[in-house]
């Protein structure tokens, strides 16, 4: 399945006790339709309040499904902020077959809060975008991103490859996109937070270079509600 959702009202993708998650909503809708226990596997877990334009998810069943009817029924059961875009029969593993993921972080340039830009983080129009671009250029390639993971992250390899990273403006919007073979817990938000501190002149770029890929806790974590899973690429 390809799912899109506004995650701002949820505790993230993963099912949790005493919390409303995207996974629990999707599995509940499937179980109502198929009348069997269903476990979904997503391409990756999005954090609380993080949204997705394109989230691949798979589930297994021995039933013969009319996928068009299942899609229609699910969208009738799901809340308005979660939608199934497509369902196909496939042997692709949503998580382990993924090769590249792209995240988008939305910002807008203004000195005052603008109600029609509530999907983006407000930043000062005086922020130094050129410095921010110089910082993100350093991220391309294969590096140890241990300094950009969360302090309570799982014990896993911190080596990741960043294929593409860009920062561009469209009107008042300022978009940050990053594509990699995978991301550590809160890695993208920590990169965005650090990028913003560089643009505000609160972090010296020359000094930052010396410990960029070391076990350095910058503690600059951008808010989750403006982060979006944009795309996932498979073989």
> Catalytic site residues?
47
Q: 5 Cβ partners below 8 Å, 6+ apart? A: 22, 51, 52, 55, 81, 82, 83
Burial of 30 (0-12, 13-18, 19+ CB in 10 A): buried
What DSSP string runs through 165-224? EEEEEETTEEEEEEEES---TTHHHHHHHHHHHHHTTSS-HHHHHTTTTSS--------G
Residue 18 CB neighbour total at 10 angstroms: 5
- CB count within 10 Å of CB 108 equals 23
Q: Report d(CA 137, CA 117) in Å as an integer.
A: 27
């Amino acid at each position: 399945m390809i799912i899109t959702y506004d995650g701002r009202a949820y505790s993230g993708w993963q099912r949790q006790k005493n919390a409303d998650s995207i996974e629990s909503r999707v599995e509940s809708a499937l179980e109502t339709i198929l009348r069997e226990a269903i476990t979904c596997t997503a391409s990756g877990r999005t954090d609380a309040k993080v949204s997705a334009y394109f989230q691949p998810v798979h589930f297994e069943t021995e039933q013969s499904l009319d996928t068009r009817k299942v899609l229609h029924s699910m969208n009738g059961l799901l809340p308005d902020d979660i939608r199934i875009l497509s369902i196909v029969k496939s042997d692709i593993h949503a998580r382990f077959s993924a090769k590249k993921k792209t995240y988008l972080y939305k910002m807008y340039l203004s000195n005052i809060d603008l109600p029609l830009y509530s999907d983006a983080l407000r930043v000062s129009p005086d922020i130094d975008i050129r410095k921010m671009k110089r910082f993100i250029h350093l991220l391309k390639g294969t590096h140890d991103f241990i300094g950009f993971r969360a302090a309570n992250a799982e014990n896993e390899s911190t080596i990741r490859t960043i294929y593409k990273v860009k920062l561009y403006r469209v009107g008042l919007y300022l978009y940050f996109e990053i594509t990699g073979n995978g991301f550590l817990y809160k890695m993208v938000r920590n990169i965005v937070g650090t990028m913003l501190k560089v643009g505000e002149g609160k972090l010296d770029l020359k000094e930052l270079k010396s410990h960029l890929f070391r076990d350095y806790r910058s503690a600059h974590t951008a808010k989750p509600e403006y982060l979006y899973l944009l795309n996932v690429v498979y073989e």
